[in-house]
Amino acid sequence: MSKNACRILGIVTIIISVFLIIGGLYLPQAGVMPQITITSLAAGIVLLIIGIVFYKILKTDEN
C-alpha cells in the first residue's frame, strides 16, 4: 500500500473508533444491553490503536 493510502486508512479508522467510543459511553443511558455497549467501547479502543499505528508508521517513514 502506498503512504497516502495507509494514512487515509488510519484517519478513517480513527474517525470510526471515535464514534464507537462515544456510542459505547452514551448507549447505556438509552437503555441498550450492556453487552452491546461493552463491545462498542472495546471495538472503538482497538480501532483507535490500529488507526494510530497506521498513521504513525507513515509519519516516521517520511523523508
Q: Is pLDDT at 63 greater than 60 in this prediction?
A: no
Residues with Cβ within 8 Å of 24's Cβ and at least 6 positions away in sequence, in order, are 37, 38, 39, 40, 41, 42, 44
The 10s digit of each residue's pLDDT in 41-61 is: 999 999 999 999 988 876 655
Q: What is the mean pLDDT of the chain?
A: 85
| Whole-structure pTM value | 0.80
Q: In which residue are the cell numbers 493510502 written?
A: 5
Cα 18-21-25 angle, rounded to 5 deg: 140
Between 36 and 63, name the one with better pLDDT: 36
SS3 23: helix
